[in-house]
Homo-oligomer: A and B are copies of this chain.
């Protein structure tokens, strides 16, 4: 079976990780990566052996002038791809969509795009089947992915009456020096519910969920405090069993040194993981508490990498490379070291 030919559009926080993840898949081939600016990230991209394409004619000129070897523009890349992963900034994906349609190339969008950019929103362990053979699929945002992973597992095994979650959002990614806050807490959005609840519902349809969100001055990870009210009695062991069935959910214990998001990232760095990434949603086992029909827990989400395995699986789903969710997920996990 020939490898699926994948183009990457955008080489920011998500794009640069997805291209390396795709490159590790035995059934996929990276054809090229589209960038706009001739910055040092473009040099890194070339040094890693990827082919560079320009987002536009102007971009082609400026990158060529900077001495970079540019293979062509986006439209030319599209003629060589079966599918593209669009990792451009919020809203740009929707603007690019007509190009993909014209070129008859399938596309995976990110969670910054509105849900109607795609035929389905996607979290592999929850609704892989929904994305099968679709043309356009949207991998949901980092917070929505984290919530969907744990709530999806719980929803598969128990009857959920209501979810109430507070999302403490990181203010910026480590490299984003123009974003804040440095010293403040920001209700964001200032109204309740936040958009995250409805976004989870694009993946786990009809889940009764209310979310609120506050931005904090940190760059490492988001942190969720989740309350799940069940229509039945559950036990802590039952919950741990349910969550343990996913390799994309990792348990840590505060008593074992995982006392903050910083120690989770340090753990990943010490493990030798590229960039110190943690694509798993990380649940503090000590925080898991069952009281009557209610479960409480805290989890951390590495905003830079949690959606990376989802993008790989989304490629398999839309191209029909693999029709069984479990097999795609297992291959992705193995190649990305999530075991």
Q: Given A212-B298, A218-B216, A225-B212, decide whether A190 and B259 contact each other with a Cβ distance below 8 A.
A: yes
Cβ-based interface call for A70 (8 A): no
Question: In the complex the two chains form, is A297's CB within 8 Å of B181's CB?
Answer: no
Q: Which of B166, B190, B192, B287 contacts A187 (CB 8 A)?
A: B287
**Chain B residue with minimal CB distance to A164?**
B227
Per the CB 8 Å criterion, the residue count for chain A at the interface is 42
Question: In the complex the two chains form, is B190's CB within 8 Å of A287's CB?
Answer: yes
Cβ-based interface call for A260 (8 A): yes
Q: Which of B168, B210, B254, B262 contacts A296 (CB 8 A)?
A: B210
Q: Please give 5 more A-B residue pairs, beta carbons under 8 A apart, in addition to A168-B168, A185-B216, A192-B225.
A: A164-B227, A166-B225, A190-B298, A191-B289, A214-B225
Provide the bound-state CA to CA distance between A216 and B170, in Å: 10
Q: Which of B184, B212, B225, B286 contacts A260 (CB 8 A)?
A: B184
Provide the bound-state CA to CA distance between A186 and B168, in Å: 11
Binary flags per residue of A254-272, CB closer than 8 Å to B gives 1, else 0: 1100011111000000000
**Chain A to chain B contacts (Cβ below 8 Å), 23 pairs:** A168-B185, A168-B214, A181-B260, A183-B218, A183-B219, A184-B262, A184-B263, A185-B300, A187-B254, A187-B259, A187-B298, A190-B286, A190-B298, A191-B286, A191-B287, A192-B296, A193-B289, A210-B291, A212-B225, A212-B287, A212-B298, A216-B216, A217-B218
